[in-house]
Amino acid sequence: MSDKGMIRIGGASGFWGESEMALPQFLKAGGLDYIVFDYLAEITLSVMARARAKDPSKGYAPDFVDLVLKPNLSEIARQGVKIISNAGGMNPQACAQAVEAAIAEAGLELKVALVTGDDLMDRAGELAADGHAEMFTGAGFPDPEKIASINAYLGAAPIAEALRRGADIVITGRGVDSAVTLGACLHHFGWDLEDWDRLAAASLAGHIIECGPQATGGNFTDWAGLAETLIDIGYPIAEISEDGGVVITKPDATGGVVSVATVGEQILYEIGNPQAYILPDVVCDFTQVALAEVAPDRVSVVGAKGRPAPETLKVSVTFMDGWRAGSTFLYVGEEAPRMARCFAETALARAQRKLKSFGAPDYTETLIEVVGDGSAFGEAHVRPDAKDVAVKLAVKHADPMAAGLILREAIGLALAAPPGLSGFSGNRPKPSPVVRLFSFLIPKNQVTPVLHFDGEQIELPMGNGAAVCAPEKGGDEPSLPVGAATVSLPLHKLAWGRSGDKGDKANIGVLPRSPELAPWIWAALDEQTLRARFGHYLQGGIDRYFMPGMGAMNILLHDVLGGGGVASLRNDPQGKAYAQILLQTPVAVPSDLAEAFK
């Protein structure tokens, strides 16, 4: 184990469905003080809520118990490593009971703590009556009868208290993803809850490891050089010092890599405004963060700054808003894009004609999306001569039977369609609920976390916090040198990039391969260029933020994901491919500088 001045925390999971390979990897390597697991996204909670409604014993991540913990409990106990996880989801009590049963079955004496208080479903009527507006769109509160889940994002203090009281395994419901890491630091170092810079540094470390191998070569721009090692990719470890110093590494003799680029891409992932990354415990400023490779597979992270914690908590509501149905079909042959569109348009027209004959309303939204003809890059990039494509046909409707009609009509058209239709046979897809996200802010003093440990229930009031006042933009924007002769190179030659979602917003981070490229990239990726690049998707505004510490920029595209998550009909409802689209953008750089990057 580490000494009091430094702890080692392994990041073992980034979503519900993550491979279970991380925990055995960490235990084999040894030397960890804490291992943390993040299973939750907003939509995950709605899925768990439906599971709990059908069966009161469900509503959490059973993988955590059955696949992760059970085979490894004896070794966890032998090494004395602490486990922290938000696998409790919508039913943390049931998750804790399942873990305790597994511990008893193994004949061990590990102590389990449970943190609740995030689930506000029993207050749906009260919250609706209070008139809360959606924090991004201003929309009114959804009908309580249609709500699937309401969860406040809790912070790290309850986790720290659980560890202080002697818990070996801490299970929570919804908290911010990085809280599992910060909670370990608060306990281990005894930091003051107003030591803002250290809280920000540990929160950044948590953000880096919260998506597991995305910090060690997963979803990495330069993936090709790592392809053969991904089968045994190493999961990230944050070494955090008492003074707030952070080094990111991974277990020895594992695949992937820890580099300035892999860590930098993950820092930029889904952070919104980097000067005001708002968490329950601290408001973080990442604009001056700097990275350095201090040894192979070891990257230091310095420069995170913190400001007082906010006076509100973010609350996420998921609610049902009709039904969606659709499927993807493959087309091969001459004029494959035209054949695919003809097939999809005909199937849609047949379904709409049938709805009309029934006296039913039309679909509320339809989508025909071809993949493989270049249309993901906009109309100017379409290749009508593509010989193989996939076509996505999807609809939304208030009635599940009406939504499902599109599937029947598409499949029923197979023998009358243009030639070249193919695909993997299986069961016909079924309509699924449209689940929308509604986010709002609530005063901290209206939410009370509760710690369940050793037969006690301890309320942990959160206090009031402070108003968040942050600039709307990041650090000072770079300026271009005058008079340099330039040549054009695609952005992927000059930078690394990663993208993801923030509701209906896409977040794209761009990290220059060398600091002197930053001004040229910033100038090239202006609002006009970004709007042209994503105009076929974009319906809202654009925010650009510069981060001088890394020379990076973070881009936020508003109203661009068709509603986002499972509310969207898109092929990429979470914006995961948006960085790949942006990385094709030509960038003018000085001729002498370009030589090193051709």
CATH number of 524's domain: 3.30.1360
End-to-end CA distance of the chain: 46
What is the per-residue pLDDT across 445-482, written as a single tens digit (0 to 9) for each? Answer: 999 999 999 999 999 988 777 777 666 555 578 888 77
Residue 464: predicted pLDDT: 78
What is the per-residue pLDDT across 53-107, written as a single tens digit (0 to 9) for each? Answer: 899 999 999 999 999 999 999 999 999 999 999 999 999 999 999 999 999 999 9
Mean residue pLDDT of the chain comes to 94
- Position 48 in a domain: yes
Domain boundary among 284, 309, 334: 309
- Number of neighbours of residue 116 by Cβ within 10 angstroms: 20
- Position 419 in a domain: yes
Within this chain, do residues 262 and 350 fall inside the same structural domain, yes or no? no
The DSSP code for 233 is B
Within this chain, do residues 405 and 378 fall inside the same structural domain, yes or no? yes
Structure confidence at residue 50 as a pLDDT band (50, 70, 90): confident
Q: Does residue 24 or residue 479 have the better pLDDT?
A: 24
Strands 365-371 and 388-397: antiparallel
Which domain CATH number covers 347? 3.30.70
| 574 Cβ contact partners less than 8 Å away, ≥ 6 residues apart | 500, 501, 561, 564, 565
Within this chain, do residues 194 and 256 fall inside the same structural domain, yes or no? yes
Helix (H, G, I), strand (E, B) or coil at 10: strand
Residue 598: predicted pLDDT: 84
Structure confidence at residue 290 as a pLDDT band (50, 70, 90): very high
pLDDT of 171 higher than 80 = yes
Structure confidence at residue 402 as a pLDDT band (50, 70, 90): very high
User: Do 587 and 488 meet the contact criterion of CB atoms below 8 Å apart?
Assistant: yes
pLDDT of 367 higher than 90 = yes
Within this chain, do residues 114 and 224 fall inside the same structural domain, yes or no? yes
- Position 356 in a domain: yes
Within this chain, do residues 509 and 426 fall inside the same structural domain, yes or no? no
Strands 305-307 and 34-37: unpaired
Question: How many domains are contained in the chain?
Answer: 3
pLDDT of 21 higher than 80 = yes
Domain boundary among 309, 332, 359: 309
What is the per-residue pLDDT across 485-507, written as a single tens digit (0 to 9) for each? Answer: 899 999 999 999 999 998 899 99
- Position 467 in a domain: no
- Position 456 in a domain: no
User: Do 394 and 326 meet the contact criterion of CB atoms below 8 Å apart?
Assistant: yes
Residue 476: predicted pLDDT: 78
Q: Rounded distance, CA 522 to CA 55, Å?
A: 52
Within this chain, do residues 303 and 344 fall inside the same structural domain, yes or no? no
What is the per-residue pLDDT across 323-342, written as a single tens digit (0 to 9) for each? Answer: 999 999 999 999 999 999 99
pLDDT of 136 higher than 70 = yes
Q: Rounded distance, CA 238 to CA 12, Å?
A: 11
Q: In what order do the strands lie in the sheet with 505-512?
A: 495-502, 505-512, 552-557, 542-547
∠ CA 290-543-583, nearest 5°, is 70
- Number of neighbours of residue 82 by Cβ within 10 angstroms: 23
Residue 467: predicted pLDDT: 78
Q: What is the mean pLDDT of residues 19-28?
A: 97
- Could you give the residue ranges of the DSSP H alpha helices within 414-517? 491-494
∠ CA 153-270-597, nearest 5°, is 160
Within this chain, do residues 236 and 196 fall inside the same structural domain, yes or no? yes
Within this chain, do residues 262 and 292 fall inside the same structural domain, yes or no? yes
pLDDT of 188 higher than 80 = yes
Residue 471: predicted pLDDT: 60
- Position 502 in a domain: yes
Structure confidence at residue 227 as a pLDDT band (50, 70, 90): very high
Within this chain, do residues 287 and 336 fall inside the same structural domain, yes or no? no
Within this chain, do residues 190 and 297 fall inside the same structural domain, yes or no? yes
Summarize the chain as % helix, strand, coil (round to 5).
35, 25, 40
Residue 480: predicted pLDDT: 83
Percent of the chain with pLDDT over 90: 89
Residue 303: predicted pLDDT: 98
Alpha-carbon dihedral sign for residues 156, 161, 162, 166:
positive
Q: Rounded distance, CA 486 to CA 590, Å?
A: 4
pLDDT of 170 higher than 60 = yes
Range of the domain at 513: 486-597
The DSSP code for 265 is H
Q: How far is CA 128 from CA 5, 134, 152, 318, 445, in A?
A: 48, 11, 15, 13, 18
| Residue (of 339, 46, 22, 356) closest to 174 by Cα position | 46
Q: Rounded distance, CA 535 to CA 158, Å?
A: 44
Within this chain, do residues 79 and 177 fall inside the same structural domain, yes or no? yes
Q: 């860590």: which residue's tokens?
A: 263
- Position 352 in a domain: yes
- Position 579 in a domain: yes
Which residues are 240's β-sheet partners?
7, 246
Q: Which helix (H) or strand (E) holds 572?
A: none
Structure confidence at residue 405 as a pLDDT band (50, 70, 90): very high
User: Do 82 and 7 meet the contact criterion of CB atoms below 8 Å apart?
Assistant: no
Domain boundary among 280, 309, 338: 309
Within this chain, do residues 506 and 586 fall inside the same structural domain, yes or no? yes
